[in-house]
Amino acid sequence: MASPALTAALRRVDAVFGGMTAPADGCAYCYGEDGLAPLAVPGALLGDDLLGSVFHEVPDHFADHAAVVRRILPEVFAVLADGRFSGMGFMSTGLGRVAWREWPAEQASAIEGFLDVWWRETLADPAPVHGVNAVWELSVDFHQAVAPLLDAWAAAPRGGIEDRHLADFADQWVQDLLTDYVIGWPADESLLLELQAWLVEHVPDRLAGHPDPLLARKVALLPLGEEERYAAYLELIASAG
């Protein structure tokens, strides 16, 4: 069940986007002549399968892609809040393909409000349904930025669940970052550099109790140049036996 804060964020999204419609005009090959008809009906639910397909679809499959994204946001966010969203972190989404921050202020604020509460509550949850990493990757796609997520993590209380998640997150990402083998990252390489710099600044002080004694030392290698970093990484692993 959604928390009071998440419920309030969902209600705000529904109040802003709930009565919208979109042209029922899209790829007939993918959706059939009647498959997109609910888009033209205010409040009609698409159901999880069709909703996921439409939300991940490339923009040229619709006459007005931005209108489709606005139309389905209340249902998409409700599915996220319920933990039913499929394809978490593995596929680009409609929200990541539209410049939603340039939409009217009320719309952009409602979206940002939901995403902020959803991310903060994920970090504070000892066992989030989809895991922090999947929510991270989906949220990066939504924002096309990492700063909103990292700022929330930096502001989280020290020594709590958020630190445990951060240590696990760093452990999961550090080898790919050290070897420049990051798959599925957004095209903007500056986001990768921003994450690396943030991990170096924030992670070492929040690793208390992590089982990998080398994790802090691995993170400390991230600022090095690519060749120097990889050589130092191999040396560190070898020295550990």
144, 168, 195 - which closes a domain = 144
Q: Which domain holds residue 45?
A: 1-144
- The enclosing H or E element of 148 equals helix 147-155
**If 0-12 CB within 10 Å is exposed, 13-18 middle and 19+ buried, where does residue 115 land?**
buried
Cα–Cα dist 237/241, whole Å: 7
> DSSP of 103-143, one letter per residue?
S-HHHHHHHHHHHHHHHHHHHH-SS-SS-HHHHHHHHHHHH
Q: Do residue 59 and residue 85 come from a single domain?
A: yes
Whether residue 70 has pLDDT greater than 80: yes
Q: Do residue 219 and residue 124 come from a single domain?
A: no
**For 24-33, 103-112, 171-180, which range has the lowest pLDDT when averaged over its residues?**
171-180
Confidence tier at 187 by pLDDT (50, 70, 90): low
**What is the rounded average pLDDT of the residues 3-18?**
97
- The pLDDT tens digits for 114-153 are 999 999 999 999 999 888 999 999 999 999 999 999 999 9
Give the 3-state secondary structure percentages of the chain, helix then strand then coil, rounded to 5: 65, 0, 35
Tokens of 138: 């989906």
144, 167, 197 - which closes a domain = 144
Q: Do residue 103 and residue 156 come from a single domain?
A: no
**What is the rounded average pLDDT of the residues 187-198?**
84
How many independent structural domains does the chain possess?
Answer: 2
CA 162 from chain centre, in angstroms, equals: 16
- The pLDDT tens digits for 86-125 are 766 567 899 999 999 999 999 999 999 999 999 999 999 9
123, 144, 165 - which closes a domain = 144
Tokens of 11: 């209600």
**What is the rounded average pLDDT of the residues 35-59?**
93
Q: Do residue 223 and residue 121 come from a single domain?
A: no
pLDDT at position 109: 98
Tokens of 191: 């986001």
Q: Do residue 115 and residue 174 come from a single domain?
A: no
pLDDT at position 241: 66
Q: Do residue 154 and residue 105 come from a single domain?
A: no
